[in-house]
Amino acid sequence: MDWWRGGDGVMGRRNKGRRQRIAEQIDSGGSTVGLTQEDLTWGRNVVGGEEDYYWRRLSDDFALKDIVPATYLELHNQCYEAWNANPLASAIIEMTTSFVLGKGVSIEANHKKVQRLLQRFWHDPANRMDERIYDLCQELALYGEIFIRFFVNPYDGSVRLRLIDPSLIDLIETDPEDVETPLRFHRRPLGQNVSQIGIRGQSMLRDETVAKEEGEWFEAGREVVQFAINKVSNAKRGRSDLATLLPWLRRYKDWLTDRVRINKYKGAFLWDVQLSGADKKTIDRKRMEYSYPPEPGSVLLHNEAEKWTAVQPAINASDAKEDGRALKLMIAVGAGLPEHYLSDASQGNRATAAEMGLPALLRFQRRQKILKYIVRTILDRVIEEARRVGALGRSVDTSYDVIFPEIDCADHLTLASAMQCLVNALSVAHQQGWVSDETAMHMLFQLVGVEVDMHEEQARIEAAHAAR
């Protein structure tokens, strides 16, 4: 098991040493000239001659698409660092959270007892789900996966949630025949504060020390639940929204830093004093005389033997503008965001911005569905534990709905005009006997993008007619 764990095992140390050797070869102009950070993270063995390229490391298993643990932990640290130190990375994560959750989510249950149960769990000071839901969305985008641990009171069935740092989960054991079905999760050993042991017996201390050195296993589904994004079907670990952006975020930050340094010295200048026919003794004497530059606004008096010239650096800042935009465009493409979302509205107009924003809004809608599945998994566990202790009867209707804020990606004026034309056309077609009521309803709801069960809707219409 030790070989699989991050930087603590044998392979972790080997991978770390390999990355250091590659970095040294890059710095020294070795055989890896032209390599990028992406090559070091995702590429094959690139150290050595041409024939070495087609051999793979013993730590690689291309049947499984998860990266080696040392690289996985390194990506986690880099994503967390970028989120803390890079404003562009922080804005991408924050923008995702703001679009997906907006002002928050609400829960509506059909039965009053279920509604009270879910509201009591949601507003429990130990859970604070109104705030924690934002942490769930933020860390899911930042780490690419979250591990939710359940703490259940065996007497009253109350449930509390806590998040486990994905960096601490070093091993996921799955069904041998189904990699998508996890069986248990292993958390790496945690540090122990001996001062908090107190006067416990030596045997208990030894047992706890051994347990902490071996880590801890959690049963999947009952104790811990994993939710992952940005992964393929045969991978166990998720991937951060920032993972593919890290090299370009760093390059854009370095480019901006260089521009700041250049512009800092843009206004700097020096005096070039030319002495005609002067010997070394005269030059040394003038150097001592002009050891301090003239104060601003001072008057210089000299004869024709001296010539004073102010020399400024030639910095063409406008020449590098497109370079910075190209870097930002690469980041925007990788993040699935239009350029004007990243504080650059100089290109295009309102119509172009509206069209470019549609793919991003659809991406946020897809993330909403993932968050809805996470919330429903949590609330289903709350209802299950309440039924276990008898707080809810088996005959109680436990159906509920999780309502997310709507992400508006449609032009309402255009939609209203199109809907009016469609309604008039469908009315004429129905009078002529060209379409049935069910087909007309289907076309109408398809236009507005609402999923409606036609049979249930017709039953409601007939019930309303009967009531009238």
Q: How far apart are the first and last CA of the chain?
A: 71
387 and 424 part of one domain: no
| Same-domain status, 163 and 251 | yes
Angstrom distance (rounded) from CA 400 to CA 90: 34
Per-residue confidence at 355, pLDDT binned at 50, 70, 90?
Answer: low
Question: Is pLDDT at 220 greater than 80 in this prediction?
Answer: yes
The pLDDT-based confidence of 197 (bands split at 50, 70, 90) is: very low
Instruction: Give the model's pLDDT for residue 431.
Output: 83
Q: Of the given ranges (95-109, 239-253, 345-359), which has the lowest mean pLDDT?
A: 345-359
Which of these three, 251, 281, 311, is where a domain ends? Answer: 311
Same domain for 160 and 40?
A: no
Rounded mean pLDDT of 106-133?
A: 93
Can you tell me the distance from the alpha carbon of 138 to that of 133, in angstroms, rounded to the nearest whole number?
Answer: 9
Q: What is the mean pLDDT of the chain?
A: 78
Beta pairing class for 400-403 and 106-109: antiparallel
Counting the structural domains of the chain, the total is 4
Indicate whether 238 and 368 sit together in one domain.
yes
Encode pLDDT of 85-113 as tens digits: 999 999 999 999 999 998 899 999 999 99
CB count in 10 Å sphere of residue 180: 10
Report the range out of 165-174, 188-197, 304-313 with the highest average pLDDT.
165-174
Asked if 325 and 181 sit in the same domain, the reply is: yes
Mean pLDDT in residue range 244-271: 80
What pLDDT is attached to residue 423?
81
The answer to whether residues 32 and 162 belong to one domain is no
- Asked if 306 and 334 sit in the same domain, the reply is no
Question: Measured in whole angstroms, how far is the alpha carbon of residue 164 from the centre of its chain?
Answer: 17
Alpha-carbon 87 to chain mean position: 13
Q: How confident is the model over 14-33, as a mean pLDDT?
A: 47
Of 178-182, 243-247, 297-301, 410-414, the least confident = 410-414
Query: Is the same domain home to 39 and 91?
Result: no
Which of 109-123, 126-140, 344-358, 382-396 has the weakest average pLDDT? 344-358
From 92, 84, 79, 85, select the one nearest 338 (Cα to Cα): 92
Same domain, yes or no: 340 and 431:
no
CB contact set of 58 (below 8 Å; sequence gap of 6+): none
Residue 447: per-residue pLDDT: 73
Query: Quick one: pLDDT at residue 298?
Result: 74
Q: Which residue has the higher pLDDT, 432 or 354?
A: 432
- What is the reported pLDDT for 198? 44
Residue 335: which residues within 8 A CB-CB, separation 6 or more? 92, 241, 245
Q: What is the mean pLDDT of the segment spanning 164-187?
A: 91
Best-predicted range by mean pLDDT (26-40, 237-251, 402-416): 237-251
Give, in degrees to the nearest 5, the angle at Cα 18 between 17 and 24: 90
Answer yes or no: do 14 and 24 share one domain: yes
Q: What is the pTM of this model?
A: 0.69
Percent of the chain with pLDDT over 90: 33
pLDDT value of position 217: 93
pLDDT of residue 54: 45
**Do residues 81 and 137 both lie within one domain?**
yes
| Confidence check: pLDDT of 279 > 60 | yes
User: What's the pLDDT at 419?
Assistant: 75
In this predicted structure, the answer to whether residue 269 has a pLDDT above a threshold of 90 is: no
Using the predicted structure, report yes or no on whether residue 313 has a pLDDT greater than 70.
Answer: no
User: What is the maximal distance between C-alpha atoms in the chain?
Assistant: 116
Place of tokens 């236009």: 447
pLDDT reading at 224 higher than 90: yes
Is there a single domain that holds both residue 206 and residue 246?
Answer: yes
Residue that is last in its domain, among 311, 339, 367: 311
pLDDT confidence of residue 414: 65
Instruction: Summarize pLDDT for 76-91 with one digit per residue, the tens.
Output: 899 999 999 999 999 9
Q: What pLDDT shows up at residue 2?
A: 38
Q: Tell me how far the alpha carbon of residue 170 is from its chain's centroid.
A: 20
Which of 60, 84, 106 delimits the end of a domain? 60
Lowest mean pLDDT among 42-51, 276-285, 365-374, 402-411: 42-51
- Residues spanned by the domain of 49: 2-60
